[in-house]
Amino acid sequence: MLTVIEAIAHMEGFYVPGSRAARNLNPGNLNFAPWLAKKYGAVLETCPAGEHPRFARFKTVEDGKDAIRTLLTNPPYEGKSLSGIFNIYAPPSENETNTYTAFVAKETGLSPDAVPTAAEIG
């Protein structure tokens, strides 16, 4: 079974060569935010023509994984079930939240109602 972070990386296309997540060393496709720059040295991505810059670009994959780990283990995510996490992380206004939750649940072996441990998050 995968960790939540590994399952998110799969869902976000991180393991697809040339994908946006892979180019940015950003397994969670995290939006750029000042805290990511300060704590992890992230910068706003540069995009090919036709894409709007939005996501963080990390110096290393490990920085990207550490950033998503920090995000998921602190408020407002901390203590939430998978369903609760993905209602925030992949909100219905931008994503198929139920599909995202079901994919991560299947890949991790966790119930959508389960509150993942730190080890299960990754």
Task: Provide the mean pLDDT of the chain.
Answer: 96
- Please report whether residue 22 resides in a domain: yes
pLDDT confidence of residue 60: 98
DSSP string, 68-101: HHHHHTSTTTTT--HHHHHHHHS-TTTS-HHHHH
- Please report whether residue 51 resides in a domain: no
- Please report whether residue 40 resides in a domain: no
* Entry pTM: 0.94
pLDDT confidence of residue 51: 84
Residues of the chain above pLDDT 70, percent = 100
- Please report whether residue 11 resides in a domain: yes
Contact 26, 57 (CB under 8 A): yes
91 has a pLDDT exceeding 90: yes
Three-state SS at 55? strand
pLDDT confidence of residue 81: 98
pLDDT in tens, 12-68: 999 999 999 999 999 999 999 999 999 999 999 998 888 899 999 999 999 999 999
- Please report whether residue 78 resides in a domain: yes
Contact 56, 20 (CB under 8 A): no
- Please report whether residue 86 resides in a domain: yes
- Please report whether residue 37 resides in a domain: no
- Confidence class for position 78, pLDDT limits 50, 70, 90: very high
- Please report whether residue 19 resides in a domain: yes
pLDDT in tens, 94-119: 999 999 999 999 999 999 999 999 99
Angle between helix 61-72 and 4-11 (nearest 10): 110
Q: Which domain holds residue 66?
A: 4-29+61-121
Domain count of the fold of the chain: 1
